[in-house]
Amino acid sequence: MTELRAAGPDDQPLLWDMLYEALWVQPGRPRPGRSVLEQPDLAHYVAGFGDRPGDVGVVAHRDDGVALGAAWSRVLAGDDRGYGWVDDHTPEVSIALTPDARGRGVGTLLMLTLLDELRADYPQVSLSVDPDNPAKRLYDRLGFTAVGHVDTSITMVARTRRPRCVLLDFDGVIRHFDEDASTRAEQRHDLEPGALTRAAYHPDLLQPVITGKTTRAQWVVQIGEAVGSPDAAAEWLTQRGVIDEEMLAIVDGLRAAGVVVAVLSNGTDTLAAEFAEFGIDDRFDAVFSTADIGYAKPDPRAFRAVVDALGVDPEEVLFTDDSPSKLPGAITVGMSATHFVDNDGFRLLLRARGL
């Protein structure tokens, strides 16, 4: 059984051990000796831990007291900047596990607990990680985003405060389609594999329909003309998709907790009707189609239109989309933005933000 406790000055010997474990070495390369920890750029992560503001830590251990790992933070400012420095007020996070504790969820538990401890005093935290380090997958899931580089390492930042608004993509997050439907339509109508999706998502056809310059009905006709089969286009695009009831339950929980939940979709002129047809138009505080806004994700103007309509500050918004290419626009206007992978990952992200 894994137990947690706060880290203090007496835990410096353990933190030195964990700092050594945290050193990332590419596979096949020799690991440096422990004397490397004496270098000032590494030593300041542990030396004197517990004697300054921002020194916050959590230790994971077995019920017999044997340590499994630790996560801790320090504010390294001025001339004493760390590798993950972003400003003189943001704590930089370090985490490491003993070899036998890896892959058991201990790291996730440590990071969530540390974020809980820091949330009241610090609106964000930072860290530095090599892009090949497996730990980066955890940081991505917890909502850390890249903001720069130092040498070969990525500097990442995560906000800690509970968001006032959660903004969701629609297709791929709330609604899911049969990925083989286009293939079946192509086979039935003797089309080349991929013909329908290539036509539908070609910028010359897609951009006008998701920015309100053409209607969905016109788009369907255009696709049919492009592939030489109006029936194939109509058959493929009449599928309604399936609403993820588990995701709706998450939405219900967020709204019950006082969080504004809205949808921003690169949608067409029929999006509102689609929500009504599914009977879910009252399950969200607002639904925005880019066809109504006139700009499509990732254009920052689409995101600005949403925050203006909702009356929220961009920094109070957490946005998620199953397409990573849509995230930069949200980040540009000041939102937190993360790649949606699955419901469990989304729950973890919400937990990391205090929800």
Provide the pLDDT for residue 137: 93
Number of Cβ within a 10 Å radius of residue 225: 13
Reference 92, options 68, 116, 75, 79; nearest CA is 75
For residues 121, 135, 347, 277, the Cα torsion angle rounded to the nearest 10 degrees is 120
The CA distance from 2 to 161, in Å, is: 26
What is the reported pTM?
0.92
The CA distance from 271 to 290, in Å, is: 10
pLDDT tens for the 355 residues of the chain, in order: 889 999 999 999 999 999 999 998 888 889 999 999 999 999 999 999 999 999 999 999 998 989 999 999 999 999 999 999 999 999 999 999 998 888 899 999 999 999 999 999 999 999 999 999 999 999 999 999 999 988 889 999 999 999 999 999 999 999 999 988 889 988 999 999 999 999 999 999 999 999 999 999 999 999 999 999 999 999 988 888 999 999 999 999 999 999 999 999 999 999 999 999 999 999 999 999 999 999 999 999 999 999 999 999 999 999 999 999 999 999 999 999 999 999 999 999 999 999 9
Domain spans in the chain, listed from the N-terminal domain onward:
2-159, 165-173+241-352, 178-237
Name the 3-class secondary structure at 186: helix
Give 72's strand partners: 57, 94
Tell me, what amino acid is at 282? D
Q: Which fold has domain 165-173+241-352?
A: Rossmann fold (3.40.50)
Question: Is the dihedral angle over the CA atoms 35, 41, 45, 49 positive or is it negative?
Answer: positive
The domain 2-159: what is its CATH number? 3.40.630.30
Name the 3-class secondary structure at 76: coil
The two beta strands, 165-168 and 242-243, are unpaired
The CA distance from 94 to 114, in Å, is: 10
Where would I find the H helices in the chain? 12-22, 40-43, 106-118, 135-141, 181-188, 195-200, 203-210, 216-227, 230-237, 245-256, 271-278, 290-293, 300-310, 327-333, 343-352
Cis peptide before 298 (omega within 30 of 0): yes
Provide the pLDDT for residue 223: 94
Provide the pLDDT for residue 181: 87
